[in-house]
Amino acid sequence: MVKVFQAADATDLVTELRRSFDDGVTRGYEWRVTQLKKLLLICDNHEPEIVSALHDDLGKPELESSVYEVALLRNSINLAVKQLKDWMAPDKAKTSLTTFPASAEIVYEPLGVVLVISAWNYPFLLSIDPVIGAISAGNAVVLKPSELAPASSSLLAKLLEQYLDSSAVRVVEGAVIETTLLLEQKWDKIFYTGSSRIGRIIMMAAAKHLTPVVLELGGKSPVVIDSDTNLKITAKRIIAGKWGCNNGQACISPDYILTTKEFSPKVIDALKQELEAFYGKNPMESKDMSRIVNSNHFDRLSKMLEEKEVSDKIVYGGQKNRDKLKIAPTILVDVPLDSQIMSEEIFGPLLPIITLNNLEECFDVIRSRPKPLAAYLFTQNQKLKERFALTVSAGGIVVNDIAVHLAVPTLPFGGVGESGMGSYHGKFSFDAFSHKKAVLYKSFIGDAAIRYPPYSTGKLRLLKALVNSNILEIFRVILGLS
């Protein structure tokens, strides 16, 4: 009989983890590295089970599971283990004449007890990657995986309990009720991956306790295709980044394409050609794509396709099978800009192409929508690249490729505006779960009388000189010459 998670359980959980944290369990380098290495063991010893759970939950092909979840996690853990000593070391800071004689540094300290709420589309990656950050930074952590990927959620619960120190790392499975109970507690940080709608709810709950948050949300990531690009490679990369990544159900999935009216037919042809090369003439039978996660999302996507003025814009695909939760890779051209499919994040295998008279117009189209998590551009035009990078506001920009920036640990991964706040990956994960404490060391040498009342004109002059770091003036005042 499964015990129901109640309010008292949430309180007890946080109390227990806080005690562990206060006792110093998670602070030491040894503990952190040991936990990270245990996570590595999970990847090494249980990959087949992980692949199987992901197949159960999402129909995810083995390669995607192995590469985009397990391998990425392995890399993330290895990097943390390798760099942790460096990351934990204080940073020296420069002091100035006004604070002389003093030395200063920035000390990294864990925030305490943190909550990680992850999503259903990359349930292992999006659960463990933030946990890697939390542990490296020395926190105690509670993970709440998504209930929409139940096999993954229960495997995560089982493996983390088996391998990690349960006095400081715990998994709570559940849905809205359990999440709400958790959110009522006071956390030292909340890390959430999911939708903008829930992101608001998380931040509002966090506000009650002044808990800082990282919100990794989503948006409609546009792909702008210039006519000077290598179309074959462009098409392949878009397909691999869209249908090849959980069948379009990813936060940085190419959501829609912007290209010129003139170039559009070539783009469509290239996509059709490569889609067939990747998935064959019968993509509904291909085993190389995830299925739609559940019937709710299937119906949501169906509705998008069935909308008036949209259904007649399909130029490729459009087949659906509700029993198998499959929708074929579908391309549409020039659906109305206010249609559902162009108003909300698609998160599925549908790819609208919006054609423009002039590629220039892409900037206005993108700017008229909420800021996305990623924006993509395919071009050889250096000026266009620079203008795009400078003026398109998105979490991250990728030129001439799709989604790869997610795998680069030296680039901060996060959103802006509706697509989120905060970032992680590599050292950014460590920073996300740390407080950078400023420390100033002062000695008793040199106690300037100018600091203290009673105040006088001479003191004011010296003060002004100090503020202007005007050495000459300082000497003159001290020597009474000013």
Partner 1 sequence: MEAMKETVDQSLREMRDTFASGRTRSVKWRKTQLEAIIEMVKDNEDKMCDVLFQDLGKHSIEAFRDELGFVMRSATTALNSLDKWVVPRKSNLPLLFYPATGKVISEPYGTVLVLSSWNFPISLSLDPMIGAISAGNTVLLKASELSPNASALLAKTIPSYLDNKAIKVIEGGPDVATILLQHQWDKIFFTGSPRIGKIIMAAAAEHLTPVTLELGGKCPTIIDHHSVSKDMKSVVKRISGGKWGSCSGQACISVDYILVEQSFASSLIEMFKPVIRSFFGENPKESGCVARIVTKKHFQRLSRLLNDPRVQASIVYGGSMDEEKLYVEPTILLNPPLDSEIMNEEIFGPVLPIITLRDIQESIGFIKSKPKPLAIYAFTMDEKLKTRILSETSSGSVTFNDVMIQYMCDALPFGGVGESGMGRYHGKYSFECFSHEKAIMEGSLAMDLEARYPPWNNFKLTFIRLAFREAYFKLVLLMLGLKR
Measured from the CB atom, the residue of 157 and 476 that comes closer to partner 1 is 476
- Residue 438, interface with partner 1 (CB under 8 A)? yes
Measured from the CB atom, the residue of 23 and 269 that comes closer to partner 1 is 23
- Residue 475, interface with partner 1 (CB under 8 A)? no
Strands, DSSP E only, in 329-419? 330-333, 350-356, 374-378, 396-399
Structural tokens at position 427: 């050292």
Is 30 among the catalytic positions? no
Which residues, numbered 40-79, are part of the site for partner 1 (CB under 8 A)?
61-63, 66-67, 71-72, 74-75
- Residue 367, interface with partner 1 (CB under 8 A)? yes
> Rounded to whole angstroms, how far apart are CA atoms 138 and 432?
12
Number of chain residues interacting with partner 1 (CB under 8 A): 107
User: What does the per-residue mask of binding to partner 1 show for 205-224, with x meaning CB under 8 A?
Assistant: -xxx-x-x--x-x-------
Cβ-contact 397, 375 below 8 angstroms: yes
Measured from the CB atom, the residue of 460 and 471 that comes closer to partner 1 is 460
- Residue 421, interface with partner 1 (CB under 8 A)? yes
Identify which of 135, 173, 136 has the alpha carbon closest to the alpha carbon of residue 157. 173
Give min distance, CB of 341 to partner 1, in A. 23
Which position has the token pair 């001479």? 458
What b/e sequence results for 462-479 when a residue is b if at least 16 CB atoms lie within 10 Å of its CB, and e otherwise? bbebbeeeeeebbeebee
DSSP state of 425: S
Greatest CA span in the chain, whole angstroms?
92
Query: 170: which residues sit within 8 A by CB, 6+ positions away?
Result: 13, 17, 141, 142, 143, 160, 161
Question: What's phi and psi for 145, nearest 5 deg?
Answer: -75, 165
User: What does the per-residue mask of binding to partner 1 show for 239-268, with x meaning CB under 8 A?
Assistant: xx---x------------------------
Give min distance, CB of 355 to partner 1, in A. 22
Question: What's phi and psi for 49, nearest 5 deg?
Answer: -65, -40
- Residue 280, interface with partner 1 (CB under 8 A)? yes
Give min distance, CB of 256 to partner 1, in A. 20
Which residues, numbered 322-351, are part of the site for partner 1 (CB under 8 A)?
none
Give min distance, CB of 17 to partner 1, in A. 16
User: What does the per-residue mask of binding to partner 1 show for 390-409, with x meaning CB under 8 A?
Assistant: xx-xxxxxxxxx--xx-xxx
Give min distance, CB of 94 to partner 1, in A. 4
Helix (H) or strand (E) holding 256: strand 254-260
User: What does the per-residue mask of binding to partner 1 show for 97-116, with x meaning CB under 8 A?
Assistant: -xx--x-x-xx-x-xx----
- Residue 368, interface with partner 1 (CB under 8 A)? no
Give min distance, CB of 129 to partner 1, in A. 14
Question: What's phi and psi for 243, nearest 5 deg?
Answer: -75, -20
Catalytic site residue from 178, 216, 274, 345: 216
> Rounded to whole angstroms, how far apart are CA atoms 186 and 463?
44
> Rounded to whole angstroms, how far apart are CA atoms 420 and 214?
8
Catalytic residues: 216
